């Protein structure tokens, strides 16, 4: 009996990837991708909350399947930088040169070469809201004090520093000829100023400016992680990048493992996908 052969799209990242199936805020990035590619490929989420690219180097060979073992990965999406760009002083920080080197090592890993038809996509970290993070930190500190607990070392973030890491992802993409989902620019390009500003200054790195305030709360839930609207931006930009750079991997251009028969039995395997 023939066994259905499903190719894989693997999404590898930190907590922003791990949370991308969540529905609490009305939209999940990978939930939408899974629906988009239903019956065509298996969508595999390998999100690790708190991970940086140093962790990713260690994690990758522990889960990524070898093509020599009969697996077929068609797309690998690498999405790091939110933790690497945390300011020095915590374990999650990875200096920018090391971050770049780690991304290159991941994108050129020996296991990837076992999948000759595999395609790669990089995603930049999104912007951060220093004001939202400041408020969240204050609330957390107050809660810790009320509970009588010892205050741990808290991560410190900088909008400008995170932007440098986003630019580094784009540079790695150019160097290795890998398409990049520029989530940083996609979100900042959609940010709304107050009426006092009226214009978007792309050079502005801080959440606040004398001319107005960016409405980060529309796209970020806590200053770092994405809201449902933030994930919608990621979904739209990801699908656009795929259609431009890898049109053969666009959902509408991929064959289904089981042939479309008008939603009526019998469900017939696509002969091109047979695996004995």
Which tops the pLDDT comparison, 265 or 194? 265
DSSP for 131-155?
Answer: HHHHHHHHHHHHHHHHTTPPPPP--
Answer yes or no: are the C-beta atoms of 169 and 126 closer than 8 Å: no
Q: How far is CA 33 from the centre of its chain?
A: 12
φ, ψ at 254 (rounded to 5°): -100, 135
| pLDDT tens digits along 7-20 | 999 999 999 999 99
Residue 217: what pLDDT?
86
Contact 74, 5 (CB under 8 A): no
- Fold designation for 3-275: Rossmann fold (3.40.50)
CA 220 to chain centre: 14
Mean pLDDT of 134-147: 65
Q: What percent of the chain has pLDDT over 70?
A: 80
What would the mean pLDDT of 232-247 be, rounded to a whole number? 98
Q: What is the pLDDT at residue 136?
A: 65
Stretch 111-128: mean pLDDT: 96
In this model, does residue 144 exceed pLDDT 90?
no
Written as six digits, the tokens of 124 are 């930049």
What residues does each domain of the chain span?
Answer: 3-275
Would the CA dihedral through 36, 38, 43, 45 be positive or negative?
positive
pLDDT value at residue 138: 66
**pLDDT value of residue 179:** 98
Stronger pLDDT, 246 or 4, i.e. the higher one: 246
SS3 state at 210: coil
β-bridge pairing 41-47 and 7-13: parallel
**Selection from 225, 207, 90 nearest residue 155 by Cα:** 90
pLDDT digits (tens, 9 = 90+) for 197-239: 444 444 443 444 434 456 788 899 988 999 999 999 999 999 9
How many of the other CB atoms lie within 10 Å of CB of 96?
14
User: Considering only 45-49, 88-92, 148-152, 207-211, which range has the smallest mean pLDDT?
Assistant: 207-211
Q: How much is the pLDDT for 69?
A: 83
Decide the pairing of beta strands 7-13 and 73-79. Answer: parallel
């Amino acid at each position: 009996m023939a066994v259905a052969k499903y190719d894989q799209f693997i999404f590898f990242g930190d907590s922003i990837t791990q949370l991308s199936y969540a529905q609490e805020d009305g939209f999940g990035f990978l939930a939408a991708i899974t629906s988009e590619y239903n019956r065509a490929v298996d969508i595999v989420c390998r999100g690790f909350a708190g991970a940086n690219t140093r962790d990713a180097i260690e994690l990758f060979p522990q889960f990524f399947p070898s093509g020599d073992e009969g697996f077929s990965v068609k797309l690998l999406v690498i999405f790091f930088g939110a933790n690497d760009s945390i300011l020095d002083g915590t374990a999650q920080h990875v200096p920018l040169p090391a971050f770049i080197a780690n991304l290159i090592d991941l994108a050129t890993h020996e296991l990837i070469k076992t999948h000759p038809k595999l395609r790669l996509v990089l995603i930049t970290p999104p912007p951060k809201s220093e004001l939202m993070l400041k408020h969240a930190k204050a609330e957390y500190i107050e809660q810790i004090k009320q509970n009588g607990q010892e205050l741990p070392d808290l991560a410190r973030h900088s909008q400008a520093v995170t932007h440098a890491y986003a630019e580094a992802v784009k540079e790695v993409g150019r160097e290795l000829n890998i398409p990049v989902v520029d989530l940083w620019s996609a979100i900042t390009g959609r940010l709304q100023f107050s009426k006092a500003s009226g214009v978007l200054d792309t050079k502005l790195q801080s959440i606040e400016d004398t001319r107005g305030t960016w409405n980060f709360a529309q796209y970020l839930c806590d200053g770092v992680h994405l809201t449902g609207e933030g994930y919608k931006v990621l979904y739209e930009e990801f699908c656009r990048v795929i259609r431009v750079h890898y049109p053969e991997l666009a959902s509408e251009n991929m064959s289904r493992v089981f042939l479309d028969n008008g939603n009526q039995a019998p469900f017939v395997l696509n002969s091109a996908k047979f695996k004995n």
